[in-house]
Amino acid sequence: MGCKLFLDDENNWWITGDKDSARFIEKMSVMMNLEKCTWDSSPRIIFLSNRDIYDAELLRQGWEFQDYRSAYIWYHKNFADIICETKNDEVVYYLPDDYWNICFSLWSVYRKIINNGGMPFHSALIEIGGQGILISAPSNTGKSTCCRRIPSPWKPLCDDEVLIVLDKQQKYFAYPFPTWSSYISNPSDKSYNVQHSVPISAIFFIKQSKIDKVTPLNKNQAAVFMYGSSAETMRRYWVLSNREDLIKGQRLKIFNNSVEMSKCIPAFQLEASLDGRFWEEIGKAINLNF
């Protein structure tokens, strides 16, 4: 038994593991609102606990791995399956291993999305009228505050991380992903509906201010900001990676994806005050009729 992560027909995975890894499957199903099911031939993310005995055989068969200290992420150029080999005796950043290992297991998901033109994004996601608005900023500079303050009918879907997927029709869709830091610092049962997507209408990059104002970004500016937002999300993988060649390749792909996305999605700088009505400025920028 396992659980299914379904983003679209091209991007879906069945998550399973050995009996010692059952807690990972349970936590992922709760955190990401995933349905438990039997395998349907989808690519698998397989959790294995402390199976060092198999490492030499995996290497012999041509598998490669990313060493994240508390987990090895094994992948093979000829197979879609991924193995997340957890190392329970290792500690990363002195934080609970389970949540880091769940986060590390998604490296393979992000890698595929990046290779297909999308990217993870350090951003809040707001839904309004069936459209997705991304509000991006570095940590502790306003995303969560905006989500707490914004009124109905604006609907916050997440406040820290978004997965942007480019579909077969070359349209960009945003999926709300967990705020990993909240689980790591204060484990809870909070759930995110990561399989719910909205088409992206616009992206706003926050600048703290005493006024509320929106300024359009040109495509070059937008591409730079987009790259920075994605790179900030990927940094947790890159900082521990043992493969500098993969990091360089991902950086280049994310930059190229950012350039392409900047041609399709309008981007703005959002100056937001602590007590103003910034959402009205967003509405004006995207010609929203309340």
pLDDT per position as a tens digit, 235-252:
999 998 878 999 999 999
Residue 135 lies in a domain: yes
From 105, 138, 160, give the residue that closes a domain.
105
How many domains are there within the chain?
2
Q: Are residues 29 and 130 in the same domain?
A: no
Nearest to 270 by CA among 222, 209, 207: 207
Which segments within the chain are labelled E, that is strand? 2-8, 11-17, 35-37, 44-49, 64-67, 71-76, 79-86, 119-128, 131-136, 155-158, 161-166, 172-177, 198-208, 213-216, 267-272
pTM over 0.85: yes
Q: What is the mean pLDDT of residues 174-188?
A: 84
Q: Are residues 138 and 191 in the same domain?
A: yes
Residue 177 lies in a domain: yes
Residue 15 lies in a domain: yes
Q: Report whether pLDDT(18) > 50.
A: yes
Domain with 78 in it? 2-105
Confidence tier at 197 by pLDDT (50, 70, 90): very high
Rounded-to-integer distance, Cα 276 and Cα 257, Å: 34
Helix, strand, coil tally for the chain in percent (to 5)? 35, 35, 30
Residue 122 has a pLDDT of 96
Residue percentage of the chain with pLDDT more than 70: 93
Q: Are residues 65 and 160 in the same domain?
A: no
Residue percentage of the chain with pLDDT more than 90: 70
From 105, 128, 150, give the residue that closes a domain.
105
Q: Are residues 76 and 165 in the same domain?
A: no
Helix, strand, or coil here: 248? Answer: helix
Q: Are residues 25 and 148 in the same domain?
A: no
Q: Are residues 52 and 21 in the same domain?
A: yes
Rounded-to-integer distance, Cα 249 and Cα 172, Å: 22
Residue 142 has a pLDDT of 79
Q: Are residues 132 and 187 in the same domain?
A: yes
Residue 263 lies in a domain: yes
Residue 10 has a pLDDT of 92
Tell me: the pLDDT tens digits for 73-86?
999 999 999 999 98
Rounded-to-integer distance, Cα 252 and Cα 260, Å: 13
Q: Are residues 225 and 252 in the same domain?
A: yes
Six token digits for residue 114: 């990046």
Supply the mean pLDDT for the chain. Answer: 91
Q: What is the CA radius of gyration of the chain?
A: 19
Six token digits for residue 226: 């987009």
Residue 208 has a pLDDT of 87
Rounded-to-integer distance, Cα 283 and Cα 91, Å: 45
Q: What is the mean pLDDT of residues 163-187?
A: 90
Q: Are residues 162 and 37 in the same domain?
A: no
Tell me: the pLDDT tens digits for 134-150?
999 887 777 899 999 99
Q: Are residues 132 and 220 in the same domain?
A: yes
From 105, 129, 147, give the residue that closes a domain.
105
Q: Report whether pLDDT(34) > 90.
A: yes
Residue 73 lies in a domain: yes
Rounded-to-integer distance, Cα 127 and Cα 131, Å: 6
Q: Are residues 234 and 147 in the same domain?
A: yes
Q: Report whether pLDDT(6) > 50.
A: yes
What order of strands is seen across the sheet that includes strand 2-8?
35-37, 2-8, 11-17, 44-49, 79-86, 71-76, 64-67
Residue 112 lies in a domain: no
Residue 114 lies in a domain: no
Q: Are residues 139 and 82 in the same domain?
A: no
Residue 110 lies in a domain: no
Tell me: the pLDDT tens digits for 38-57?
999 999 999 988 666 667 88
Tell me: the pLDDT tens digits for 202-226?
999 999 899 999 999 999 999 999 9
Tell me: the pLDDT tens digits for 87-117?
765 444 444 568 888 999 999 999 999 999 9
CA dist 286 to 17, 189, 215, 263, Å? 45, 35, 12, 16
